[in-house]
Amino acid sequence: MLIFRLLSPRDLCNLSSCCKSLCDIANSENFWLDQCEKVKVIPSSEIVQLRTGVSSYKALCRFLVEVMKPLVGVWVYQKPEFGNVVYVMPGFLSVVGCRIIPQEVGPLGIQEGRIMWSPVFEIICGFDGGSTKFFLNGRDRKDSCLFLGLFTGIEN
């Protein structure tokens, strides 16, 4: 059991396919809770809360490893002063990407005013942890729209 705690989520899945007894051990919720905590994308105190929205810690770990970990952070594409900056943050069983809108920064920096932002996309974890829903925010003439899309997890 100590060896199982040292394995990555992918290695744990591979090992569990070797035989029935290893599969039974690898399906333990405690092992997958440890794996979720090792990903370190969200605070450990929030992992138990997120578990209420998915079928198992294994499903939650899959979402954390394949979707949340690779995307969370600040993404810049050339010339950020033109608004090519997206901040991707964790939500409740989702990942939300927001475009940071360029604005004048006064002598006091950001403390002088609020940062303006616009939602770009949201990826929502399905109950089983394997399915995700991708929503792209946009405009159609003068109205804001939400477009359903397709998302495939990022392989490490």
pLDDT over 90, % of the chain: 7
Structural domain contains residue 155? no
Structural domain contains residue 113? yes
Q: Which residue has the tokens 């905590």?
A: 37
Number of domains in the chain: 1
Give the angle subtended at the CA of 100 by the CAs of 99 and 101, to the nearest 5°.
110
**Better pLDDT: 106 or 64:** 64
Banded model confidence at residue 72, pLDDT cuts 50, 70, 90 = very high
Structural domain contains residue 76? yes
State which amino acid sits at residue 58.
Answer: K
Question: In 20-66, at which residue ranges do the beta strands (DSSP E only) sit?
Answer: none
Structural domain contains residue 154? no
Question: Which pTM does this prediction carry?
Answer: 0.77
Domain range for 145 is 2-149
Mean pLDDT of the chain: 80
Span 17-66, pLDDT tens digits: 888 888 887 788 888 888 888 888 888 888 988 888 898 888 898 899 88
Structural domain contains residue 156? no
Interacting residues of 144 by C-beta distance below 8 A, sequence separation 6+: 137, 138
Per-residue pLDDT for 111 more than 60? Answer: no
SS3 content of the chain, % helix, strand, coil (to 5): 40, 30, 35
Per-residue pLDDT for 69 more than 60? Answer: yes
Structural domain contains residue 63? yes
Write the DSSP assignment of 70-133 as a string of letters.
HH-EEEE-S-GGGT-EEEEEE-SSEEEEEEEPP---BTTBGGGSPPPEEEEEEEEE-TTSS-EE
For residue 137, the SS3 value is strand
C-alpha to C-alpha distance for 92 and 79, rounded to whole angstroms: 31
